[in-house]
Amino acid sequence: MDIEKTIEALACENGISGDEFPASAKAAEMLSQYLDVTVDDFGNVFGVSKAFDESKETLLLDAHIDEIGMIVTYITDDGFLKVDKCGGLDMRLLLAQQVDVLGRETVTGVVISTPPHLEKDSKKLPEIEDIYIDVGMSKESAEKVISAGDRVYINNSLIRLQNDYVSSKALDDRAGVAAILYALELLKDKQTKYNIKVQFSVQEEIGVRGATIGAYKSDADIALAVDVSFAKTIDDKPDKCGELSKGAMIGVAPSLSREVSDKLISVAKCNNIPYQIEVMGGNTGTDADVIGITKAGIKTCTVSIPLKYMHTPVEVVSIADIENTGKLIAKFCETEEKSC
Amino acid sequence: MLENLKNLCELNGISGDEGSVRDYIINQLDGKAEYKIDNLGNIIAFKKGAKTPDKKVMISAHMDEVGGLVTYINQDGTLKFEAVGGVDPRVVFGRRVTVGRNNVNGVIGSKAVHMLNDDEKKTAVKFEQMNIDIGCTSKEQAEECVSLGDSVCFCSEYCLFGDGKIKGKAIDDRAGCAIMLKLIEQELQYDTYFTFVVQEEIGLRGATVAAYSVEPDYAIVLEATTAADVPNASDEKQVCKLGNGPVVSFMDRHTVYSKELYELCFDTAKEHSIPCQTKTMIAGGNDAGAIHLSKGGVKTCAISVPCRYLHSPSCVIDKNDFENTYELTKNLLDRIFNNDI
């Protein structure tokens, strides 16, 4: 499996929260090489290992399939679109961005920006109420192809930077999806300690909703929430972040299972897989928060791929980090005991 | 003309580094006009017409676009840069750029939105706070890919969208260049000078010397100008509107335009049923500012394509306005030569 090609194919699909079907379909197609796959009404993708053994514990591998974006709320008399946020939108970068509106057809638009001569203060950021999308159409033309509820996103497909870094929209969390797929590739034809279930969950960015129902249906004993987390940029303090190219970030937090964290750390050490520890003071802001308290409780931990510029169309990850995250997950699935 | 506009917009040529745009234009000029390149890099072209008029007319458009320059390489391999031309920092953050002659991919980012405090969430990132990430992990590695002084250019594909709209970077002023190329392609009635000039965005510098060399009696500046016909601008502040035709100004921050030419523009537009509008604000400026003060003074007018989101990677114009700007210019030229002035 070519990790870069996989992540590229996943990241270019659309999957803004609540409307993930294109991304879900692509992920389901890829997952079906390894597992029996179903997609539910919400767009959640589920995979179950073909050789399901009732005597084994069940491990749920979760990554979310949705991405942040915007949603059309209104079309003005002049044909401009008003929008609201889907997820934690970064208002610093919206003005004059080219966007795609996913109407009855995909429509190109530009986020309006007020020209400098009218702008008293170019230091101020717009609020979402100030944002309009210019689709270059009259209201009448716009209404033929666009409706309230259509999603809007910034369409940056993958580009390569120096070293093994790539930049794209939606690497949060298609990188996690790719890492799970790579782990399954490594586990092909191998015995595993657990029954393996996979879910690619919808609506994480608007409140970890897909994982809530997915985890309920999974009857899992253990879960790994595979997401992205903050890699240090030049503007961050080192104590708040991981680093690119230093391997998966293993979560340690009061809301996570210390037992699973410890096993992950031990597996990484024994197999010389690079890793970093990510300490969080309470909840994690990932699907792990709801998975852990599903039904009578699931032992859950986060495994995160370091990523720079989260929630922007120029997110950056290292291909080697995705590979090493996949390796860590695969070894975790294979390994019988905590020690080695 | 649209083909040329697309090709021109997709070339990178920030002020002072217009080489690739110049090469493209020279290639188009071959066999159609005489030209020379002056010391600043302006193309001064002369197209022989059927007749030699008693007055010299110069049409001018600028080749350069706004962007940035690499000023420093940080220890972690990211790059500091400075804006070239008037750019709102809010249309630069979170973008892709290409850096230098090797077109190295870069992205402009900072700490994640999750890490911002309340003040930071409301405040635009300033240029001096921005860094370009090209994926290098050390200063030494970055030095192998880029050099100080390398150009930083927006990445934005030219595309048609909506009801006859065009989106691209650098439409200001490759639109003017494309119109001039179309004029040069055909047989002209009268001898005409065409100048494709450099360094407009940093102070009308190319046009200053080009006008000195040409010594025109009349000058027509072809430009793209701010249209603010967007929902949060009140009607009188919209300046001009897409779809209402070329914009002819009576005055901006640099020039009080020739009243004669101003009126001749509208008269010509009326005669040929070309839609035409004026600017409803005294704002902006263009190469006319330098040309009309050249030597003993030059009667100058500016004909502009109305353009939304000027100086951003996503400039938007209307295809009809672009074509009508050409039509108006061509007909105005005839009127000037035919002594209607």
Work out the pLDDT band at B241, boundaries 50, 70, 90: very high
In a domain, A162, yes or no: no
Has residue A15 got a pLDDT over 80?
yes
Range of A326's domain? 3-67+169-334
Q: What is the CATH number of the domain that holds B95?
A: 2.40.30.40
Q: B203 and B55: one domain?
A: yes
For the stretch A29-82, pLDDT in tens is 999 999 999 999 999 999 999 888 889 999 999 999 999 999 999 999 999 999
Q: B39 and B124: one domain?
A: no
Q: A63 and A75: one domain?
A: no
In a domain, A125, yes or no: yes
- B residues 152..171 contacting A (CB < 8 A): 156, 159, 161-165, 167
Which of A119-133, A142-156, A259-273, B5-19 has the least mean pLDDT? Answer: A119-133
The alpha carbon of residue B328 is apart from the nearest alpha carbon of chain A, in Å, by 24
Q: Does B113 touch chain A (CB under 8 A)?
A: yes
The alpha carbon of residue A161 is apart from the nearest alpha carbon of chain B, in Å, by 5
In a domain, B164, yes or no: no
- Looking at A124, A153, A182, the residue that finishes a domain is A153
Has residue A122 got a pLDDT over 90?
no
pLDDT of residue B159: 96
Work out the pLDDT band at A171, boundaries 50, 70, 90: very high
- Looking at A103, A128, A153, the residue that finishes a domain is A153
Work out the pLDDT band at A21, boundaries 50, 70, 90: very high
In a domain, B163, yes or no: no
CA–chain centroid gap for A78, Å, is 36
Average pLDDT over residues B296-321: 97
Nearest alpha carbon to residue B22 among B47, B42, B2: B42
Mean per-residue pLDDT over chain A, rounded:
95
pLDDT of residue A340: 63
ipTM higher than 0.90? yes
Q: A272 and A179: one domain?
A: yes
Q: A245 and A305: one domain?
A: yes
For the stretch A93-111, pLDDT in tens is 999 999 999 999 999 999 9
For the stretch B38-47, pLDDT in tens is 999 999 999 9
Q: B61 and B74: one domain?
A: no
- Looking at A153, A188, A212, the residue that finishes a domain is A153
Give the one of A88, A98, A134 whose C-beta lies nearest to B308's C-beta.
A134
Q: Are A136 and B316 within 8 A, CB to CB?
A: yes
CB atoms within 10 A of CB B5: 25
Q: What's the total number of domains in chain B?
A: 2
Nearest alpha carbon to residue B115 among A250, A165, A239, A129: A239
Q: B323 and B302: one domain?
A: yes
Range of B203's domain? 2-65+169-337
Work out the pLDDT band at A124, boundaries 50, 70, 90: confident
Contact B134, B79 (CB under 8 A): yes
Q: A45 and A33: one domain?
A: yes
Q: B311 and B190: one domain?
A: yes
- B residues 222..251 contacting A (CB < 8 A): 226, 228, 230-233, 237, 239
Has residue B308 got a pLDDT over 90?
yes
d(CA A62, CA A303) in angstroms, rounded, equals 10
In a domain, A160, yes or no: no
In a domain, B243, yes or no: yes
Q: A176 and A292: one domain?
A: yes
The alpha carbon of residue A283 is apart from the nearest alpha carbon of chain B, in Å, by 15
Average pLDDT over residues A203-216: 96
Q: B226 and B287: one domain?
A: yes
For the stretch A244-302, pLDDT in tens is 999 999 999 999 999 999 999 999 999 999 999 999 999 999 999 999 999 999 999 99
Q: A40 and A78: one domain?
A: no
Q: A136 and A44: one domain?
A: no
Q: B99 and B40: one domain?
A: no
pLDDT of residue B338: 87
Q: A107 and A43: one domain?
A: no
Has residue A10 got a pLDDT over 70?
yes
Q: Does A98 touch chain B (CB under 8 A)?
A: yes
Q: What's the total number of domains in chain A?
A: 2
Q: A183 and A90: one domain?
A: no
Work out the pLDDT band at A117, boundaries 50, 70, 90: low
Q: What is the CATH number of the domain that holds A192?
A: 3.40.630.10
Work out the pLDDT band at B228, boundaries 50, 70, 90: very high
Cβ neighbours of A278 in B, within 8 Å: none
For the stretch B273-282, pLDDT in tens is 999 999 988 8
Has residue A339 got a pLDDT over 60?
no
pLDDT of residue B234: 83
Work out the pLDDT band at A243, boundaries 50, 70, 90: very high
Q: B178 and B81: one domain?
A: no
In a domain, B58, yes or no: yes
Q: A75 and A63: one domain?
A: no
Work out the pLDDT band at A121, boundaries 50, 70, 90: confident
Average pLDDT over residues A232-248: 94
For the stretch B141-183, pLDDT in tens is 999 999 999 999 999 999 999 999 999 999 999 999 999 999 9
Report the 3 state secondary structure along chain B. Answer: CHHHHHHHHHCCCECCCCHHHHHHHHHHHCCCCEEEECCCCCEEEEECCCECCCCCEEEEEECCECEEEEEEECCCCCEEEEEECCCCHHHCCCCEEEECCCCEEEEEECCCHHHCCHHHHHECCCHHHCEEECCCCCHHHHHHHCCCCCEEEECCCCEEECCCEEEECCHHHHHHHHHHHHHHHCCCCECEEEEEECCCCCCCHHHHHHHHHHCCCEEEEEEEEECCCCCCCCHHHCCCCCCCCCEECCECCCCECCHHHHHHHHHHHHHCCCCCECCCCCCCCCCHHHHCCCCCCCEEEEEEEEEECCCCCCEEEEHHHHHHHHHHHHHHHHHHHCCCC
For the stretch B59-87, pLDDT in tens is 999 999 999 999 999 999 999 999 999 99
Average pLDDT over residues A161-179: 98
Percent above pLDDT 90 for chain B = 94
Q: B180 and B124: one domain?
A: no
Q: What is the CATH number of the domain that holds A95?
A: 2.40.30.40
Has residue A337 got a pLDDT over 70?
no
Residue with tokens 């990523």: A307
Give the one of A96, A132, A159 whose C-beta lies nearest to B314's C-beta.
A96
Residue of B nearest to A156 (CA): B96
In a domain, B256, yes or no: yes
d(CA B133, CA A161) in angstroms, rounded, equals 8
In a domain, B45, yes or no: yes
Q: B89 and B204: one domain?
A: no
pLDDT of residue B235: 82
Best A75, A120, A134, A165 member to test B by mutation, with max B CBs in 10 Å, is A134
Q: B218 and B86: one domain?
A: no
Q: A73 and A200: one domain?
A: no
Burial A293-322 (b: 16+ CB within 10 A, else e): ebeeebbbbbbbbbbbbbbbbbbbbbbbbb
pLDDT of residue B339: 77
Percent above pLDDT 90 for chain A = 90
pLDDT of residue A338: 52
For the stretch A302-313, pLDDT in tens is 999 999 999 999
CB atoms within 10 A of CB B6: 17
In a domain, B54, yes or no: yes
Percent above pLDDT 70 for chain B = 100
A13 catalytically annotated: no
Q: B254 and B145: one domain?
A: no
Q: A182 and A291: one domain?
A: yes
Q: Are A134 and B145 within 8 A, CB to CB?
A: no
In a domain, B160, yes or no: no
